[in-house]
């Protein structure tokens, strides 16, 4: 079985982002048949079709599109803003889905881990993100689901995810995701 290339997209740009802490934890517990790396989205200008139509796509768009194109799967780690995903995450999704006919998300395996310091696990963002990804032909893992509530209780002052029980849940999630990526890439 070959090593699968997995992008981790962090939906929060905040310096002390809980999502970034969770991303680092996910990378640390991933099975060896997955090679995970964070794909940065903070430098992507807002999508405007004129850039592509005029042949002037920003270099960051080209970099991002090429990085996504080379992946076998993607894990989205997102907070919830107003019962949805942050604008920066939706922008990244749009950038990589264009220009029309060049959707680099197509046929990838996908997973979502939603993160919140509140009590609802960012349920709204998790389920809202599934809608555009289904349209873009990303095969989203349905089970197990991953919602992390009260995340501030699981991160130390250095931003390290330290709760062993929750790390165990993330490890189980990543083991299931490994099976999912292998199933999707075999078809």
- The CA distance from 121 to 147, in Å, is 5
Joined tokens for residue 18: 């809980």
- The CA distance from 108 to 115, in Å, is 22
Instruction: Please report the pLDDT score of residue 120 as a whole number.
Output: 74
Per-residue pLDDT of the chain (187 residues; tens, 9 = 90+): 689 999 999 999 999 999 999 999 999 999 999 999 999 999 999 999 999 999 999 999 999 999 999 999 999 999 998 899 999 999 999 999 999 999 999 999 999 999 998 887 688 899 999 999 999 999 999 999 999 999 999 999 999 999 999 999 999 999 999 999 999 988 7
73 membership: H or E segment, kind and range: strand 73-78
Domain spans of the chain, in order of start = 4-186
CB 151 within 8 A of CB 114: no
Nearest to 39 by CA among 89, 87, 99, 80: 89
Torsion of CA 26, 31, 35, 40, to 10 degrees: -10
Which residue do the tokens 């919140």 mark?
116
Instruction: Please report the pLDDT score of residue 115 as a whole number.
Output: 95
- The CA distance from 112 to 76, in Å, is 5
| Structural class in CATH, domain 4-186 | alpha beta
> What is the model's pTM?
0.95
């Amino acid at each position: 079985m070959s090593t699968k290339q997995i992008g981790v997209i962090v939906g929060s740009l905040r310096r002390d982002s809980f999502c970034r802490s969770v991303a680092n934890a996910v990378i640390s517990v991933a099975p060896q048949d997955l090679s995970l790396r964070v794909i940065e989205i903070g430098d992507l200008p807002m999508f405007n079709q004129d850039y592509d139509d005029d042949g002037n796509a920003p270099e960051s768009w080209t970099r991002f599109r090429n990085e996504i194109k080379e992946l076998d799967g993607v894990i989205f780690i997102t907070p919830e803003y107003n019962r949805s995903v942050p604008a920066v995450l939706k922008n990244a999704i749009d950038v990589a889905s264009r220009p029309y006919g060049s959707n680099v998300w197509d046929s990838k395996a996908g997973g979502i881990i939603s993160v919140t310091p509140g009590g609802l696990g960012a349920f709204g963002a998790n389920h809202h993100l599934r809608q555009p990804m289904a349209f873009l032909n990303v095969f989203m893992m349905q089970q197990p689901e991953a919602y992390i509530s009260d995340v501030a209780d699981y991160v130390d002052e250095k931003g390290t995810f330290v709760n062993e029980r929750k790390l165990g849940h993330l490890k189980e999630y990543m083991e299931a995701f490994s099976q999912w990526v292998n199933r999707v890439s075999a078809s």
